[in-house]
Structure 1
Amino acid sequence: MKIGKYTLHVLETGSFALDGGAMFGIIPKPLWSKSNPADEMNRVSLNARNLLLVSDSRKILIDTGIGSGWDEKFAKIYRLDQSNNTAQSSLERIGINSDDITDVLLTHLHFDHTGGSTIFQDGKWIPAYPNAKYYIQKRHFEWAINPSERDKGSFIQDRFVPVHNEGLFHFIDGDVPFDDEIDFITINGHTFFQQMIKIHDSSNTILYCGDLFPFTSHIPIPYVMGYDLQPLITVQEKKKILPRAVEEKWKLFFEHDPKVIMATVAESPKGFTIDKVFTELP
């Protein structure tokens, strides 16, 4: 798939699992389990799916997946499975290595989105993409290095602080363009100053949603994660984004849905629903 000067590639970097109740907040299990069945520990499956944009001059990675180097306890708690895919193996399949990446656009610094930003080598954590600039909202970074007791477990410092120490972070302030075909859109419901990535040309728009819509089943307005710091803000953000997605025929990119890569959205008297589903890039 091409958008403007960019050729797009989906990178599957493994799967993991989180508590279904936490993923769906106040929504009762009999409702959310229809679309997202739980295992014996009440965990639902999530993919760690990223997007690579390639032009003549740039190779841009959006988020870095859950990464590698986790201990056995972590892997067991989160049912981590990278037997088929990692970021590196997915890049290698399309003939790209880590040194080729020029830019890394991070939606936010939770471990399942930025875990692959560093690697453990020679006894220390170092940037996984040493030739890249890493882009993050400045106010989100400031929160991530001094989070609250409620969300500090989501920020694993070894997975992003070494990037800062090497001077590779480029801080963004608000809703600004990256270039003519990529824009940053900030949202604050899930965590403070998360940034979605809008990729567009005259005929196509993809919105890389981050954790505003982890699954296709989060499209209905009330379906908000228990993890969200400001759930009522998430509701307002969904009510702002979804009508525009319908009107302008955006394709929403789902980072965590186990089956669906992208989808368009429709509106009916009952609310917003998934319309056309993509299990691969068109």
Structure 2
Amino acid sequence: MEILQIGQTKISWLDGGVTFLDGGAMFGVVPKPLWSKKYPVNDKNQIELRTDPMLVQKNGLNILIETGVGSGKFDEKQLRNYGVRAESMVEKSLKKLGLETNDVDIILMTHMHFDHACGLTKWENDKLISVFPNAKIITSFIEWEEMRNPNIRSRNTYWKENWEAIQHQVETFETSIKVIEGIEMHHTGGHSDGHSVVILQDEKDTVVHMADLMPTHAHKNPLWVLAYDDYPMTSIENKQKWLEFGESQNAWFIFYHDAFYRAIKWDKEGNVLEKIERIRS
């Protein structure tokens, strides 16, 4: 299990499952000869994408960023179409840290697409229940509204199975929210209309989680946005904004989807200063 420590804040990556999605869709209009030099692709034109939540521990609180693809939520067709090779083992990961799902205090959802939100609920006695019953779940107001009222495009990724059982736990915000001292969420839009980023600061250290504005290290170029993005120009604008912020702070950029790196520090020229690689079994 990889760990990043900044000040009194500890970040641990949990096992949330893995998907293999179309590389062309993940890099949008970028030609394959360019993106495939930066991120491996298989013979089906799919790239490996982790869905690993980050457990942030600070001030005695257990705060989860994203929740993984869950377990037992997909039928055979969905498993095939979404390239799900392994489902979530978050509960097992928490036990390795001496924790239960009941110990999670807050969950930060940058957005609520199925590959981030399936881990919020699970089947028990033919009924969907909350996986983290004691947690406050925070997402943007715009995201929560679309989650419950998806349009013709978004209904394939916003599932009622992922929100109905946890709706009483949800707290929303408009533009920004201070979760606790040193942890903030900021609405960006772009990938989805309600998409947000998470900023962590402790002592002199900063961590930026750009979520699906920059799902992997290979997406660092502000122009390399996903075909899945609802508002690509908004994605580009906010990638520039938060990359510049992070680089000005000598920040760590952390990843939920990257199959190779958990965190990277870049300088303003794009050179890697420090990195935490994912331990591959």
* 1:30 and 2:28 correspond: no
Supply the AA of the counterpart residue of 2:219.
Answer: H
Structure 1 counterpart of 2:248: 247
1:71 aligns with 75
Q: Distance in 1 between matches of 2:278 and 2:44?
A: 30
- Give the Cα separation in 2 of the matches to 1:139 and 1:253: 24
> 2 CA distance for matches of 1:21 and 1:149?
22
Alignment of structure 1 residues 1-282 onto 2, 5 Å: 1-69=4-72, 70-82=74-86, 86-164=89-167, 167-268=168-269, 272=270, 274-279=272-277
SS of the aligned residue for 2:37 comes to helix
Instruction: Name the stretch that deviates more: 64-73 or 110-119.
Output: 64-73
Give the TM-score normalised by structure 2: 0.92
Q: SS of the residue aligned with 1:30?
A: helix
Cα shift readout 1:10-62 (whole Å, capped 9, x = no counterpart): 11212111111110000011111122232232211101121112245321111
Alpha-carbon separation, structure 2, partners of 1:184 and 1:154: 22
The whole-number CA distance in structure 2 between the counterparts of 1:119 and 1:175 is 29
Unaligned 5+ residue runs, structure 1? none
Can you give the 5+ residue segments of structure 2 that lack an aligned partner in the other structure?
none
Specify the SS of the correspondent of 2:134: coil
Q: Deviations over 1:88-143 (max 9, x none)?
A: 11111111111111111111100111110001111111110011111111121101
The Cα shift of 1:174 comes to 1.5
Q: CA deviation at 1:6?
A: 3.1
CA distance in 1, matches of 2:273, 2:60: 35
CA RMSD of aligned residues (A): 1.8
Shift of 1:151: 2.3
Q: Residue type of the partner of 1:216?
A: H
In the superposition, relative to structure 1, how do residues 73 and 220 fare at CA in structure 2: closer, same or farther (>3 Å)?
Answer: same
After superposition, what is the alpha-carbon deviation per residue over 1:158-201, rounded to whole angstroms, capped at 9, x for unaligned?
0122111xx11112222121111101111111101212111111
- Matching residue's letter, 2:264: A
Local SS of the residue matching 1:261: strand
Whole-angstrom CA distance in 1 between matches of 2:272 and 2:111: 25
Q: Distance in 2 between matches of 1:105 and 1:243?
A: 23
Q: 1:2 to 1:266 in 2, by over 3 A?
A: closer
